[in-house]
Structure 1
Amino acid sequence: MLSGKAALVTGSSQGIGLGVARAFAASGAKVVLTSEKPLPHCPEVQRILSDYEHTRYIQADLLQEGEPERLLAEAWQAFAGLDVLVNNVGTYKEPPLEQLTRRDFDFIFGLNVWSAIALSREFVRRLKAEKRPGRILFSSSLNASRSEPQHTLYDASKGAINALCRQLAVELAPFGITTAAVAPGLVETPLTDFGLKSTPSERHAVMEQIPLRRIASVEDVAWWYVFLASDKAAYATGTIVVVDGGLDAQQMAFRPISPYEKG
């Protein structure tokens, strides 16, 4: 589906980003993977680089001044241009509300939001200069619209990502540049495990709240990015696709069912 396209996927040394990069490469795309880690510390990335010829890795710490600009420039040069930018990098780790500081805000919003803005800006500049179309994808979250405790900054940052996806869709449509976002529910990644694998009872309690009764795999989510990056989805822009096993469709997970409702 992505033959002939070149993409940059941020935060792609693990989790959803790694899965998206692998799915893109398997779908025929040229792919630049990136994270703040040195390549020797990224065995899964090395495997992708070995399995797929048209793949590259660029180490970049997107919290550092000038790094988004350098990353986009090097990724663009790697394949003589890019067609797709996937703004995936992000984190949720933060203290409770009463302990939040400006430093926490700068960290979460710097990584989750500013890196996406800075990379999108550089991507758009190059697309416009060469008068070529492009696609910007974002990793959002169900948390952008459905919150949970102790996720103050994360939830706010993902709400900002949804707004950014919509705003850029409107601003960039005249130039043939489109946007879309994937908003997953709970996904099995190194970032989101928080002990669920080692505590079966808590894991079961979480799964009981998901209508499909399982936590998503990375593969459940990654192929949505492939479709949204493809020409098959060319007419969709500003679109936010929720992939959550039915969580957003459900009002209360544990509401008692009355005899009347049971019929």
Structure 2
Amino acid sequence: MPLRGKKALVTGSSQGIGLAVARAYAAAGADVVLTSERPLEDCPEVRAVLADYPAAVYAQADLTQDGAAEELVNLAWDTLGGLDVLVNNVGTFREPAFLDLTRRHFDFIFQLNVWAAIAVTQAVVRRASAAGRGGRILFSTSLNATRSEPAHTLYDASKGAVNALTRQLAIELAPLGFTTAAVAPGLVETPLTDFGLKSDPLARKAVEDQIPIRRIATPEEIAGWYVFLGSDAARYATGIIIPVDGGLDAQQMAVRPITARERH
């Protein structure tokens, strides 16, 4: 129970990685607030977590709205009696082709992927500082922050910003007793990243062949890293970004024929 006694807020936790992180936190002994913009009746997987872990609660919050971050943090703080760990996980990548991008697309992606993390972090730090407490601030970034992917212009740029935010806040918030870290997954099996891969075996194999260990990650395999980073075992680590990608970042070219000359 590495998180026994910890109190955590996980944004974007109604599905995918965020849901897996919230469940893993509850299983590791933490009191957890799950949240997304969806009403609870539309989140059957969240209801399952709440049923399994009485110390877990859900708060609906649309973090693209002004003031929502402060309201969410105040609710989470008052419900749990404080916060020790914040997991900034909310985000999306849906966007048109580069030449079709507009300021509206930019504002939406950066508001959700970057500003929401800033706003929620500000609210947590203000509340904690007023109580004379520090804490741990974690971020969900992506391998896309450092390795580009077609049709992901704004997403990749926003995740690059999250990487920079993770490092900068390590410096900015250290005097206030906070540490930061980020997890940068590769491709993970979530509702957000299903490009028809479940229904198209050939397309799925083509993707898996790009991954050195030849499979797509499950959210649960990613969630364990958040548990470690939220625990006291990671208390001296700050400003770090951990890729969890099946070897993608270690690889220069994914699939390339090796000639006979190279073999000898």
TM-score, length-scaled by structure 1? 0.99
Secondary structure at 1:242's aligned position in 2?
strand
For 2:161, the aligned partner's letter is: A
For 1:162, the aligned partner's letter is: N
Give the Cα–Cα distance (whole angstroms) in 2 for the partners of residues 63 and 124 of structure 1.
19
Question: How high is the sequence identity, in percent, across the aligned residues?
Answer: 69
For 1:196, the aligned partner's letter is: L
- What's the offset of the Cα at 1:194? 1.2
Whether the 8 Å contact between 2:125 and 2:134 is mirrored in structure 1 is no
The answer to whether residue 70 in structure 2 is matched with residue 65 in structure 1 is no
Secondary structure at 2:191's aligned position in 1?
coil
Alignment of 1:184-203 (within 5 A): 184-203=185-204
* Residue 136 of structure 1: aligned partner: 137
The answer to whether residue 180 in structure 2 is matched with residue 176 in structure 1 is no
Alignment of 1:204-243 (within 5 A): 204-243=205-244
Question: In the TM superposition, what whole-angstrom CA distance separates every residue of 1:110-147 from its partner, at most 9, and x where no partner exists?
Answer: 10000000000011111211121200000000000000
For 1:152, the aligned partner's letter is: T
Secondary structure at 1:158's aligned position in 2?
helix
For 1:5, the aligned partner's letter is: K
* Residue 97 of structure 2: aligned partner: 96
* Residue 24 of structure 1: aligned partner: 25
- What's the offset of the Cα at 1:98? 0.4
The answer to whether residue 48 in structure 2 is matched with residue 55 in structure 1 is no
* Residue 11 of structure 1: aligned partner: 12
Q: Which moved more, 1:199-208 or 1:171-180?
A: 171-180
For 2:202, the aligned partner's letter is: S
Whether the 8 Å contact between 2:183 and 2:226 is mirrored in structure 1 is yes
* Residue 124 of structure 1: aligned partner: 125
Give the Cα–Cα distance (whole angstroms) in 2 for the partners of residues 237 and 118 of structure 1.
20
Give the Cα–Cα distance (whole angstroms) in 2 for the partners of residues 159 and 231 of structure 1.
27
* Residue 157 of structure 2: aligned partner: 156
Secondary structure at 1:191's aligned position in 2?
helix
Unaligned runs of 5+ in 2: none
Unaligned runs of 5+ in 1: none
- What's the offset of the Cα at 1:175? 1.9
For 1:83, the aligned partner's letter is: D
For 2:211, the aligned partner's letter is: I
Secondary structure at 1:31's aligned position in 2?
strand
* Residue 41 of structure 2: aligned partner: 40
Give the Cα–Cα distance (whole angstroms) in 1 for the partners of residues 256 and 204 of structure 2.
19
For 2:178, the aligned partner's letter is: I
Question: In the TM superposition, what whole-angstrom CA distance separates every residue of 1:45-79 from its partner, at most 9, and x where no partner exists?
Answer: 00111110111100001111111111111011111
For 1:157, the aligned partner's letter is: S
Give the Cα–Cα distance (whole angstroms) in 1 for the partners of residues 74 and 177 of structure 2.
21
* Residue 116 of structure 2: aligned partner: 115
For 1:32, the aligned partner's letter is: V
- What's the offset of the Cα at 1:85? 0.4
Whether the 8 Å contact between 2:8 and 2:30 is mirrored in structure 1 is yes
For 1:4, the aligned partner's letter is: G
**May I ask how many residue pairs the two structures share in their alignment?**
263
TM-score, length-scaled by structure 2? 0.98
